Chain A
Amino acid sequence: MSSASRSHDHTAASREVIDASDIARALTRIAHEILERNKGSANVVILGIPTRGVPLAARIAAAMANVEGVEIPAGSLDITMYRDDLRLHPARALEPTDIPAGGIDDAVVILVDDVLFSGRTIRAALDAVNDLGRPAAVQLAVLVDRGHRQLPIRADFVGKNLPTSLSETVRVTLSEYDDNDGVVISNTNVSRGSS
């Protein structure tokens, strides 16, 4: 998940580090890397983690379909019920989980998220995948890796490595939800979330 803060008051030190064309190129490259690593698109299922992982998953699937000429199954995987911080926050509303019709048994599942940070979201996603079936393999694609991992988790496909300090907030905007595509770093004093 992108950030703990949505406050627009801290504009003092926010800067765009990735723009729309960077995102488009990164997603195209990730799509090619996924095809290369898996020797094609057979058995590949792309699952985005809500909210902004879902449109990213759809874009990657579309880019892969462009190359391969076949439709790539893509869906969404809500991890709310698997979070390890449920007791620390007010109850959260659930996001849709939409598993492609073929299921994920014996598939290569590509998890897609916008920002890789502590790794806790991906830990929860792995548990959620485990309850849905038994994939042949699970790989991880993220648009931004900002470091500061708290669990032994790494991404297989990274759009951009973005060194950050813990006082900074990384926010991904996508045209599906926001005004435009972009990645913004802002310096806030908001205490650290557990993205």
Chain B
Amino acid sequence: MKHHLLSSADLARDDAVLVLDTAAELLSLADRPIKKLPTLRGRTIVNLFFEDSTRTRISFEAAAKRLSADVINFSAKGSSVSKGESLKDTALTLEAMGADAVVIRHGSSGAPHRLANSGWVRSSVVNAGDGTHEHPTQALLDAFTMRKHLGDLDAKRVTIVGDVLHSRVARSNALLLSTLGAEVTLVAPPTLLPVGVETWPVQTSYDLDTSLDKCDAVMMLRVQAERMDAAFFPSAREYSRRYGLDDRRFKRLPEHAIVMHPGPMNRGMEISADVADSARSVIVEQVSNGVAVRMAVLYLLLSGADLSRTDPTASDSTKPEVVS
């Protein structure tokens, strides 16, 4: 593992598999009477959230606490950020407090990269979602959930449907799943596919029905009303008819296929309530898997010798990458 987790592209196949295997062992912790490990005792993890979030922040907080780390939650509302403090000054404050890891969510794409590479902080930086760029831990938990249900992801077919243009989840998933050998198809109206999508390691389609017959997992993306600043589709009703996962389309899926959604859902819009509550929907399981996956990420980033602060050439040859 590198010192930071900023993008799914940072993860080589071996790194990604290590995270998923570690998460698989940590998942059993949830069934034990004492849901705590002493591994990160005395370490401080800051959750730096400039954007609203429920499940991601709670998930990171639970993960850090189960590893016995001290957690400081920082949300932009009610902090000095609302008085105009810059990211740099906030970062310097965190550095002075001795944070070992910063989990950052920010509305601007690239903010975690800036934090990690500016020299403001020495701590590990974990991207918990930046603008419309990436959300690597979500991709890891999605891959983990798929692996649990489908086995090895090599040559598995995954269809990601919806607002790819604004979706950091789609980008991170496309990168990670193709690293793991899966075949990813993005399905969206032409207006909601980003410029340059042809350079991604994926296939694209404008038609949902044709890609449903053979897929192993279908992931519905949220229609992000807060980012819909232009007329991307004529009406919500039309979008739902053409790209929503309703009962009719659900019946076309193969028997073993699973239905995923990163949440929060717009029931009746991109996914019907019956499909969301069906036995093949793993949406609730995605949340509990998220804690195990984030524990694995924090463990692998923080528990080892901190090679970045010493001599990088002395690092273990199996984990050569230190500075991102």
Residues in chain A within 8 A of chain B (CB atoms): 78, 81-82, 86-97, 127, 131-133
Interface contact A86-B304, CB-CB below 8 Å:
yes
Complex Cα distance A115/B55, Å?
A: 44
CB neighbours (8 Å) of B25 from chain A are 78, 94-97
Complex Cα distance A93/B26, Å?
A: 11
Question: Quick check: which of B28-36, B88-96, B180-188, B227-235 contacts chain A, the rest being far away?
Answer: B28-36
Indicate the member of A87, A91, A95, A96 with the most B CB atoms within 10 Å.
Answer: A91
The SS class assigned to the A binding surface is: loop
Interface contact B316-A82, CB-CB below 8 Å:
no
> Closest B-chain residue to A96, C-beta based?
B25
- A86, A93, A127: the one contacting B22 at CB < 8 Å is A93
Interface contact B39-A87, CB-CB below 8 Å:
no
CB neighbours (8 Å) of A92 from chain B are 304
Complex Cα distance A133/B32, Å?
A: 9
Interface contact A97-B316, CB-CB below 8 Å:
no
Q: How far is the CB of A167 from chain B (nearest CB, A)?
A: 23
Extra A-B contacts (6), CB below 8 Å, given A91-B1, A94-B26 = A78-B25, A89-B316, A91-B299, A94-B25, A95-B25, A131-B36
A-B contact pairs, 19 of them (CB 8 A): A78-B25, A81-B38, A82-B39, A87-B304, A87-B306, A89-B304, A89-B305, A90-B319, A91-B1, A91-B304, A91-B319, A93-B18, A93-B21, A94-B22, A94-B26, A97-B25, A127-B38, A132-B33, A132-B34
Q: How far is the CB of B19 from chain A (nearest CB, A)?
A: 10
Q: How far is the CB of A137 from chain B (nearest CB, A)?
A: 19
> Closest B-chain residue to A88, C-beta based?
B305
CB neighbours (8 Å) of A90 from chain B are 304-305, 307, 315-316, 318-319
Interface contact B305-A131, CB-CB below 8 Å:
no
> Closest B-chain residue to A87, C-beta based?
B305
Interface contact B304-A131, CB-CB below 8 Å:
no
CB neighbours (8 Å) of A96 from chain B are 25
Indicate the member of A82, A90, A96, A133 with the most B CB atoms within 10 Å.
Answer: A90
> Closest A-chain residue to B36, C-beta based?
A131
CB neighbours (8 Å) of A93 from chain B are 18, 21-22
Contact A81/B34 with A91-B303, A94-B21, A96-B25 known, Cβ cut-off 8 Å: no
| A-B interface, 8 closest residue pairs, ranked by CB to CB distance from nearest | A91-B304, A94-B25, A90-B304, A81-B37, A90-B316, A81-B39, A131-B34, A91-B300
CB neighbours (8 Å) of B38 from chain A are 81-82, 127
Q: How far is the CB of A51 from chain B (nearest CB, A)?
A: 14
> Closest A-chain residue to B302, C-beta based?
A91
Interface contact B37-A86, CB-CB below 8 Å:
no
Q: How far is the CB of B122 from chain A (nearest CB, A)?
A: 15
CB neighbours (8 Å) of B26 from chain A are 94
Interface residues of B in 1-56 (CB under 8 A from A): 1, 18, 21-22, 25-26, 28, 32-34, 36-39
Complex Cα distance A91/B307, Å?
A: 11
Q: How far is the CB of A144 from chain B (nearest CB, A)?
A: 27
User: When each residue 44-87 of chain B gets 1 if its CB lies under 8 Å from chain A and 0 otherwise, what string results?
Assistant: 00000000000000000000000100000000000000000000
